[in-house]
Structure 1
Amino acid sequence: MDLLSECKASEMFEGQVVVYKHLYAYIDSMCLKWCLELNIPDIIHNHGQPISLHDLVSTLQVPPPKIGGVHRLMRHLAHNGFFRVVKIHDENNDNEEEKEAYALTVASKLLVKGTEHCLAPMTKCALDPTLSGAYHFLGKWTFEENLTLADVSLGTNLWEFFSKNPSYLSFFNESMISDSQMLKLALQDHRPVFEGLESIVDVGGANGTISKIINAMFPELKCIVFDLPHVVENLSGSNNLSFVGGDMFHYIPHADAVLLKGILHDWDDEHCVKILRNCKDAILNTNVKKGKIIVIDTVINEKSDEYELTQMKLRMDIVMTNVNGKERSEEELKKLFLEVGFQDYKISPLNVIYSLIEIYP
């Protein structure tokens, strides 16, 4: 029996589009990788104005047979929002004929190197063949009861892989720093969250990017960056910012508040409960009655988020198979909070991607 015998031809064609759309979705990522490898956002930025295809390929020194290929790639990236096609006057033409040129959009401006909110490190890390290649092993991962996707693809868990490969650890840390820099804009609108606190410990804070942002907002607030010893051993603090080595599964330094930025989504429920219990112990051992845990993470909300945003969050959820973590819904987070014995929590939108969650003991 033909499974599709009752379907109209138009319906089958629509289904074909869905299949092909996902079949070739990786092309979007590969075009973006090409764009960064050739430093095209930087070239347009340094050009000082929208750049024509002729000037772009001349700067890149592209051989003539590949100029058409560059045009096709730029057309694809422009269609997907990375560049804007505009008209400019041809200065080399006496008739001042207009020609097409590529201008930066907000998305490609975020890829220009050396800027405060550059996401190029995050993009390059995510598209590295060794790391992104892990997702070819999702089928095998499905039947490995206790292994992460990294265990299956790399032969070890992701954190051990980073510790044994310093270049990749640096690569990963740079990507996390670029992501954290984006939060600087959002945190400015959430100052009340930190008001009244005398101390805060940034768990898994790496080089202290988030703590430095908070410290700049509240110079009198004592910020403790807490991470594994090998992560913080060569880092030095200043004024009210310090670095402490340790393991969050054993203990967390005492403070009025504990910050977990992008931590809970790295772990399964069992490990999250351990982390949250240690966080609770850390804030209950201070004299402040308003102690709390501050979580910055993605919260999946399929009912209220727009389709494109939900799609991105669900993709990020699949990314977390690398470490057996997950992006959670409010219901899943609430379950964790109740298991640890927290009395209340509050979720506020931080930016489009992340939410800010305050948990009270």
Structure 2
Amino acid sequence: MSSINGRNASDLFQGQSLLYRHLFAFVDSMCLKWIVELRIPDIINNHTKPITLSELVSILEIPPTKVGHVQSLMRYLSHNGFFERVRIHENFEDKEAYALTAASELLVNGNQLSLVPMVECILDPTLSDSFHHLKKWVREEDLTLFHISLGSHFWEFLTKNPAYNESFNEAMASDSQMSNLALKDCKLVFEGLETIVDVGGGTGTTAKIICEAFPNLKCIVFDRPQVVENLSGSNNLAYVGGDMFMAIPTADAVLLKWILHNWTDKDCIKILKNCKEAISNNGKKGKVIIIDVVINEKQDQHKVTELKLLMDVNMACVNGKERSEEEWKKLFKEAGFQAYKTSPLTGYLSLIEIYP
């Protein structure tokens, strides 16, 4: 078998396949954006049964010259698990049709667990185009990727751009619904608590779920003033604006869901110290509840690790990072906490309870 530089042709062909798979990976995101923009999951859902290609292109009003291209897109998306190709019997003949899968059900607008806002936010060119600047970013000592592409830190950008800020908050709220699905099975985590502060809680999606499950638990959603200023609470839900780097409202527990991965170790230690002060000021033995990624390459399945490492690269945009358990442990110790325990939560997120 022929070889070049000590590698045989078979290895080189495999290398080419891997290279091309990543080279054209952006097409995956654009196909996802395509089905959301055309509301194809909605169409199939409203059809109440698997839909044939001819029915789909008719509803979408696709010109005849593009029908074959739509078929190519649907075939590729089906191969990747977004649709299921099934056989149906209709008008005395067997036909191929497309049905929803668990992934595309998450892209039906109006569903309680719809992740459409997440897709729309993340695939907005405002965000995705920033990654064209990775080369410049790695040579800058302190600037975030958004500093380079947008001219400011991401949180400052949100403050100055209300429309995108609204899109971002809707995306985070949709993601929270997925975490909340898991939190419903974690009642022991909240039992015995009288007050809890959801730091960076956005519009209160998670806090509302907690309030419903524990009517006697008082929840405070703590976020940037511009996020919470027009929101109204209820008997056991309140909104407070402020800066988590300055101080956090006093409570029995502090919840940090998908917060710490946005920040450097130095910033995380500052946030955790403020959390420790918030639960210590209450005169009880409180705790901090963290929902975030814990990288565990030795124990996780390959695809789960792949997602976690991809999320780690994604956090480059704000100079944040995903962390291994050892890295989390180091942060807790430097922030003055004495103990912690970690539990699986969703497919890639963990729940960590830390104690002073």
* TM-score range for the pair, normalised by the shorter chain length: over 0.9
Within the candidate set 290, 302, 305, 1:295 is matched to 290
Q: Could you give the per-residue CA deviations for residues 40-71 of structure 1, whole angstroms, max 9, x where no partner exists?
A: 00000011110000000000000000000000
Q: How many residues matched?
A: 355
The aligned counterpart of 1:313 is 308
- The corresponding residue for 1:177 is 173
CA deviations on 1:295-340 (whole Å, 9 max, x unpaired) are 0001111111111111111111111111111111111111100101
Q: Deviations over 1:268-300 (max 9, x none)?
A: 0010010000000000111222x0000000111
> Tell me, what secondary structure is at the counterpart of 2:297?
coil
CA offsets per residue over residues 194-215 of structure 1, 9 Å max, x none?
0000000110111111110111
Deviation of 1:124 after TM superposition, in Å, equals 1.3
Which residue, out of 261, 264, 268, partners 1:265? 261
Note the residue ranges of structure 2 that are not aligned, 5 or more in a row.
none
- Structure 1 gaps of 5+ residues are none
Match 2:145 to one of 149, 156, 159 = 149
Give the alignment of 1:201-212 within 5 angstroms.
201-212=197-208
1:280 alignment partner, SS class: helix
**Could you say which residue in structure 2 is the equivalent of 1:345?**
340
Instruction: Tell me what 1:220 maps to.
Output: 216
Paired amino acid for 2:230: N
Alignment deviations for residues 120-168 of structure 1 (CA, whole Å, 9 cap, x no partner): 1111111111211111111110101110011111111111111111110
CA distance in 1, matches of 2:277, 2:152: 31
Residue 256 of structure 1 aligns with which residue?
252
Matched, 1:275 2:271: yes
Give the 5 Å matches for 1:1-361: 4-91=4-91, 96-289=92-285, 291-361=286-356
Partners of 1:229 and 1:167 in 2: how far apart? 16
Deviations 1:244-267, CA, capped at 9 Å, x for gaps: 111110100100000001110010
Q: What's the CA shift for 1:90? A: 2.5
Q: Which amino acid aligns with 2:197?
A: V
Shift of 1:6: 1.1
- In structure 1, distance between residues paired with 2:61 and 2:4: 51
SS in 2 for 1:243: strand
**What is the one-letter code of the residue matched to 1:193?**
V
The residue type equivalent to 1:187 in the other structure is: L
| Structure 1 segments (4+ residues) deviating >6 Å | none
CA distance in 1, matches of 2:67, 2:6: 47
User: Equivalents in 1 of 2:62, 2:105: separation in Å?
Assistant: 23
Structure 1 residue identity aligned to 2:79? H
Q: Distance in 1 between matches of 2:203 and 2:181?
A: 19
CA distance in 1, matches of 2:169, 2:216: 27
TM-align CA RMSD: 1.1
2-structure distance, mates of 1:117, 1:140: 37
* Deviation of the 1:4 alpha carbon: 3.5
Name the amino acid aligned to 1:305.
D
SS in 2 for 1:189: coil
